[in-house]
Amino acid sequence: MTDDDLRDDRPRDDDGDALLSRLKVIEDQPLETRAEALAQIQDELRAILEAGDVRPSA
């Protein structure tokens, strides 16, 4: 088993499915609510990407 096998922060298919489900629900909302919900998702995705930029020291 490698270190990559132990990493738990890699995207999974079910993560993508969950995101798509959330986006479909958001699409049916009124514009103002939709904008707020999309901004929240953007913040969540930014936090995930920024967390991935941190490399542990060896």
**Domain annotation covers residue 27:** yes
Instruction: Please give the pLDDT value at position 9.
Output: 53
The answer to the question of residue 6 being in a domain is no
Burial status of residue 18 (CB atoms within 10 A of its CB: 0-12, 13-18, 19 or more): exposed
Quick one: pLDDT at residue 2? 46
* Domain coverage including residue 47: 14-51
What is the tally of structural domains in the chain? 1
pTM: 0.61
What pLDDT is stored for residue 3 in this prediction? 47
What pLDDT, on a 0 to 100 scale, did the predictor assign at position 53?
72
Q: Do 27 and 34 meet the contact criterion of CB atoms below 8 Å apart?
A: yes
Residue 2 maps to a domain: no
Residues 5-55: tens digit of each pLDDT: 445 555 567 888 999 999 999 999 999 899 999 999 999 999 989 988 766
What integer pLDDT is reported at residue 20 of this predicted model? 94
Report how far apart, in Å, the C-alpha atoms of 20 and of each of 10, 11, 49 are.
Answer: 17, 14, 18
